[in-house]
Amino acid sequence: MLGLVSGFDWDAGNTENCQKHGLTIEEVELLFRASIDVFPDVDHSRTETRFFGIGRTSTGRHVFVAFTLRTKDGGRVIRPISARFMHAKEVTHYAAEIARRKN
């Protein structure tokens, strides 16, 4: 779904949104380079198409990341909006949703 992307779009705003939840830029970028399940974020797609992804850090912690895709310098980039660690109930909910989608 993400297709080819040439990188990430970071600035002070989205960096702070991710770091205030305990995630580094490197951890967020690694989610996309590893395996991430992507869902449309219809509720927040008013001015641009947004998505959210569910992935795991290298230490196995589940992460929820909201993002959009943009064109920058002629390439397609991922612009993380916010990222945070997930609660146990969310992990259970999305694990069931991911399994349902794969069947």
* Range 8-31 average pLDDT: 94
Q: Which two structure tokens, joined as six digits, stand for 68?
A: 């959009």
Number of domains in the chain: 1
Please check whether residue 2 lies inside any domain of the structure. no
pTM of the predicted structure, to 2 decimals: 0.86
Please check whether residue 70 lies inside any domain of the structure. yes
pLDDT on residue 99: 87
* Range 83-92 average pLDDT: 94
Sheet holding 62-72, edge to edge: 7-8, 75-85, 62-72, 50-56, 37-40
Percentage of the chain modeled with pLDDT above 70: 98
Report whether pLDDT(3) > 80: no
**12: CB partners within 8 A, 6+ apart:** none
Please check whether residue 33 lies inside any domain of the structure. yes
Percentage of the chain modeled with pLDDT above 90: 62
Confidence of residue 53 (pLDDT cuts 50, 70, 90): very high
Please check whether residue 76 lies inside any domain of the structure. yes
Please check whether residue 1 lies inside any domain of the structure. no
Residue 63: how many CB atoms within 10 A of its CB? Answer: 22
CA 92 to chain centre: 18
CB 62 within 8 A of CB 35: no
Residue numbers of the domain that contains 36: 7-102
Please check whether residue 26 lies inside any domain of the structure. yes
